[in-house]
Amino acid sequence: MGQKVNPHGARVGVIFGWSTRWYADKKDFANNLVEDFKLRKMIKEKYYAAGISRIDIERTAKDVTVNIMTSKPGMIIGPKGATIEQLKAEVTKQLGRPAQINVMEIKQPDADAQLVAENIAQQLEKRISFRRALKQAQQRAMKLPGVKGIKTSVSGRLGGADIARTSLVANPGCYPTATILGLYAAVKNNLVHCDDLVVDAKSGATGAGRKAAVPTLFSEVSDNFRAYGLPTHRHTPEIEQEISLLAGQDVRLSFNTHLLPTNRGILATIYTRLKDPRMDLDAVRAVYTETWSHSPWVRILPKGALPETRYVRGSMFCDLGLVVDPRTGRLIILSAIDNLCRGASGQALANANLMCGLPVEAGLNNLAPLP
């Protein structure tokens, strides 16, 4: 393993100066370091909108000088210097010694890396498309004299959707969609043991695509019901990957698939073992209802109702039915989706909506009725 060096540290003394300039003996060094950290944090949080790029701190034996580089000095100085005097009093009180505040204006904020990054972050918080925010920041910077290039990147979550910040998406499979949606609330809220998961899933013939193959011919599928892909179905790694990330541990599950004599639809029956065998159906439904309250496409069915593929046909809905078996201490989860819509094209369109900065449901809530 190589040594990791902060890029700023490699440039100090070459093109950058020290952001903290003082000397302290061993017994005072740690205290001064913590004071500087708290001071920068306080000023940055209080005047975040002022566009502060850098805060330099100089200490002498008797006083402290704080130099603030900002794109909006007026917000820190205030009318007739009232705001900066208030800040000076706060710093003096926090450090316990006289403080001097110097405010320096940044003439070209669009050429300052820190301010460019903060501007992009503020736009993302306002739900501006990340591509638009990045492009505009790059265009403004490149128009300035002396700027030879700019590189920007963003990561993390936006409105709960990683998809909105990427340019390439691997659309989830139909079986993983039904299984993960069914398990999500139970695993996320630590209701079940993750070492005892069994999935029994059934799919219509269209789950295999449109290619000509003998096993999916009408004459082979009609009036028949059979298992396939056991015990190493191609979607098993995808399901285990996502459930492991959700559980925070390595998860192995038994995933078993069957071919239904129907055109479309998936019904997955998921067998789990409750961590608290005394937990009743009302408590489980409350957890599921709360977890999925933000998603109009996941429907938690009433007590006693079980999902059917015909009720999700041609839609983005995933119907979840819940059964608690107190005799065995098991929670049985039933998940039904349309494999051609929620499990394929509809889900792809939802991902495209997020990538393009559109509402996720655009064009998907009023699909054409199917016979």
Q: How far is CA 352 from CA 168, 170, 178, 308, in A?
A: 10, 11, 20, 28
- In total, the chain counts a number of residues equal to 371
Residue 155 CB-density burial (10 A; 0-12 exposed, 13-18 middle, 19+ buried): exposed
Whether 174 is a known active-site residue: answer yes
Q: Are 76 and 68 in contact (CB under 8 A)?
A: yes
Cross-strand bridge partners of residue 88: none
Name which of 192, 177, 182 is nearest 235 in CA terms.
177
User: Tokens 């991902």 — which residue?
Assistant: 351
Q: What is the residue type of 172?
A: P
Count helices and strands in the chain by DSSP H and E runs: 11, 11
DSSP 192: B
Q: How far is CA 75 from CA 81, 148, 224, 238, 241, in A?
A: 10, 30, 75, 51, 49
Phi and psi, residue 195, nearest 5°: -100, 10
Q: Which of 174, 194, 318, 341 is an active site residue?
A: 174
Cross-strand bridge partners of residue 321: 334
- Separation of alpha carbons 234 and 237, rounded Å: 7
- Separation of alpha carbons 201 and 250, rounded Å: 22
Q: Is the peptide bond before 215 cis (omega within 30 degrees of 0)?
A: no
- Separation of alpha carbons 310 and 325, rounded Å: 26
User: Tokens 């096993």 — which residue?
Assistant: 215
Q: Retrieve residue 73's tokens.
A: 């000095």
Residue numbers annotated as active site: 174
